[in-house]
Amino acid sequence: LLKDFPDELRADIAMHLNKELLQLPLFESASRGCLRSLSLIIKTSFCAPGEFLIRQGDALQAIYFVCSGSMEVLKDNTVLAIL
């Protein structure tokens, strides 16, 4: 949808849409340019209850931030932690 917009406008919109995430302490020392670049590649995902986000042994393709809700860490169908 935003592909046809000018780069500056796309970056401004992405910064606004990802504002909550980009304000985490993890990013506090990042420059505005870095945050703008990051905001353009952030992808939002939703998981339904019971859905697996990643399984042990999977190669990581992304970094995940849980912005709302919770998730369980399982091993052999036993809950090790609730995050």
What is the CATH classification number for the domain harbouring 59? 2.60.120.10
For 38-52, how does the pLDDT look when each residue is reduced to its tens digit (9 = 90+)? 999 999 888 999 899
Residue 53 has pLDDT above 70, yes or no: yes
At residue 16, the pLDDT reads 95
At residue 36, the pLDDT reads 95
Q: How many domains does the chain have?
A: 1
Q: What's the chain's average pLDDT?
A: 91
Alpha carbon distance 45, 33 (integer Å): 24
Structural domain that includes position 71: 2-82
Alpha carbon distance 18, 5 (integer Å): 18
At residue 1, the pLDDT reads 65
User: Which of 78, 73, 77, 53 lies closest to 64 in space, CA to CA?
Assistant: 53
> Against a cut of 0.75, is the pTM above it?
no
The two tokens of residue 49 are 């209850």
